[in-house]
Amino acid sequence: MFQKTGLPVSSGIAIAKAVILDSEMHQIPKRFISQSLCDSEVDRATYAFEMAIAELLKLETDCQQLKSGEVRDLFSVHRHFLKDQSLRDKVTQRIRQDCVTAEYAVSVEMQLLHQHFSKVPDLYMRERAADISDMEKRLLGHLIDLKKSAIEHVTEEVVIVAKELHPTETAAFDPRFVKGIVCDTGGATGHASIVARAMGIPAVMAVGNLTERIRRGDTLIVDGDNGLVIANPDGETLARFRAIQEKSIAAQVSLAAIEIRPSVTLDGVPISLLANIEFPSDKDAVLEAGAQGVGLFRTEFLYLQSGIEPTEEDHYEAYIQVVKALNGCPVTIRTMDLGADKFTQSHRFLPETNPFLGLRSIRFSFKHRDMFVAQLRAILRVSAIGPVKVMFPLISGVREIQLAKEILASVKNDLDKAGQAYDPQIPVGMMIEVPSAALLSARFAQYVDFFSIGSNDLTQYALAVDRGNAQVADLFSSFDPSVLQLIQMTVAGAATTGIDVSICGEMASEPSFVMLLLGMGIRALSLSPSMISEVRQTVRGVSIVQCQDLVKEVFRMDNAGDIQMYLQQHLQSLTLRDLDQS
């Protein structure tokens, strides 16, 4: 028996035999062809693109049963990406100029894109590199004979073990048989993780070299709540986790009754449960989860789904879908949160030696005001339709929020002159993602109407740890006392002017963390729609007084491991009977 830890990305306990999945891409040899064959190779490439697009459209339709806008839009984004003429033109150009086969041209161009995404400073965007590999494999499947996946023949309960999983591979799993997923690499915001959560399959990513130590048929325990993988457990361990699994299943059954009740603590304190969304169609999941609004509407998809810069109308049409669907519930729209590396068409950039600390997010918006203004105009216009808030990312200094508000005021003035309706009192907020913002939160509170703590980036910047780097990922922990101190400081800063403060990182969806956040004074949580029912259950099973006592105890501790263990043990002490009676 041995165990490894990784990143928990989809909750639940799985116990089954291991199946090793070879998801690695194989090198396509460079084979030259005569000039006379170039036209036929271009035709082959075109055929591959069209077939891949048709497959993705079918997958998009078939996955309706998952009731996940995130998953449906994954396939939609892949389709739009493959329909992009600039990508096809590059493949055609390589075939004709280098006189090479279609499969080689496709492989080279897709690998160049993969390398490009892999170097993006933003972890969320870096994890999109797996999508590029996924699309490459799909295209090559129509050009060469790729080995069929071992999972296609599985008819018994298994745990999938792989170096890396592609998103559409994950979506093809049959949850009747695939009970758990473990990968050497990957992250919580990768699309394979998103799909696993939507399908309800417990999953742990970034476990290191597990594929080198596991053999087909080994018994695996996958703890998707704590990021634990146990291979060939002894009888006592197996019995313990089977008991936990049974308790977890029973708890899920109770969610159906709880999810329609108000999110109020045992001592009567209301807690706002909001949703994080990535695409307009996620509105369906928001409504199904009973969220009280959208706490984070990521807008990056508008810049990534095609090679053309989105217009003001593109922004407006995307936002209005969500605002109308929410029917009076607030929608917080975050302005563009990407790096300069994503804008190589109309906005050239110089390579950066340290892109994590470079031209990205609000800094990029300031440098390219035309793009920024187009987005702000759309946000303001849609605020005339329903309650909308605007939120600026990666604010690190007071002058940045001052400048952002000055630009917003200028856009308002332009709309006034044009007679365009908007909410003149639209709430303005900022993300707390870097230590400087937390340290100066009391000053920032004088300029904004609300804070939203991005716990993932705040942890990364506070601890100087790239959580996407497997070599140091074990050092990344939002349970670290320094991170908790920064959050507490932010809550105190917000209190000086009475503004609202919420949290929208992974902390908000971790039940043991939720208790701590409530005790620290957080009264609004923004999380994935799929996690709202579970967090609502936690909220209804605790009192603020209990949570405040937890905070006192936790702030006496010196390391993340002790804090995490203490909170998880306390959460487990909340019995199913207590939760049901809530």
The one-digit pLDDT tens for each residue of the chain (582 residues) are 899 989 888 889 999 999 988 765 567 899 999 999 999 999 999 999 999 999 888 877 766 555 455 666 677 778 888 988 888 999 999 999 999 999 999 999 999 888 877 776 666 666 667 788 889 988 998 998 766 555 656 779 999 999 888 777 787 788 889 999 999 988 766 778 878 887 889 999 989 888 889 999 999 999 998 899 999 999 999 999 998 888 777 666 555 555 467 899 999 999 999 999 988 888 988 998 899 999 999 998 888 765 578 999 999 999 999 999 999 999 999 999 876 444 444 444 455 666 668 888 999 999 999 999 999 999 999 999 999 999 999 999 999 999 999 999 999 999 999 999 999 999 999 999 999 999 999 999 999 999 999 998 999 999 998 766 667 777 888 999 999 999 999 999 999 999 999 999 788 988 889 999 999 999 999 998 878 988 998 999 999 999 999 999 999 999 999 998 899 888 877 644 454 444
Which is nearest to 263 in space by CA: 523, 547, 454?
Answer: 523
Q: What is the pLDDT of residue 579?
A: 44
Q: Which CATH number fits domain 255-270+427-582: 1.20.1260.10, 3.20.20.60, 3.40.50.1360, 3.30.9.10?
A: 3.20.20.60
What CATH topology corresponds to 272-406? Answer: TIM Barrel (3.20.20)
Residues of the chain with CATH 3.20.20.60: 255-270+427-582, 272-406
Cβ-proximal residues to 401 (8 Å cutoff; 6+ apart), any chain? 392, 395, 430, 444, 447, 448
Q: What is the pLDDT of residue 264?
A: 96
Calpha distance 230→209 (Å, rounded): 14
- Give me the phi and psi of 14, to 5 degrees please: -125, 140
Q: What is the pLDDT of residue 321?
A: 95
Calpha distance 443→363 (Å, rounded): 20
> Residue 511 in 3-state DSSP?
helix
Which residues are the active-site residues?
A: 191, 504
Residues of the chain with CATH 3.50.30.10: 2-23+149-235
Residues of the chain with CATH 1.10.274.10: 35-140
Calpha distance 28→25 (Å, rounded): 9
27: left (phi > 0), else alpha (psi -120 to 50), else beta?
beta
- CATH 3.30.470.20 correct for 35-140: no
**Number of C-beta neighbours around residue 370 at 10 A:** 9
Which is nearest to 556 in space by CA: 546, 568, 566, 542?
Answer: 566
| Prediction pTM value | 0.70
User: Domain 2-23+149-235: which CATH class?
Assistant: alpha beta
Q: What is the pLDDT of residue 549?
A: 95
Q: What is the pLDDT of residue 108?
A: 95
**Helical (H) or strand (E) element with 538:** helix 532-540
**Number of C-beta neighbours around residue 235 at 10 A:** 7
For 11-76, the DSSP string reads: -SEEEEEEEEE--PPPPPP--B--GGGHHHHHHHHHHHHHHHHHHHHHHHHHGGGG--HHHHHHHH
3-state helix, strand, coil in the chain (%, to 5): 55, 15, 35
Beta strand segments in 101-260, E: 158-162, 178-183, 203-205, 219-223, 228-231
Q: What is the pLDDT of residue 68?
A: 55
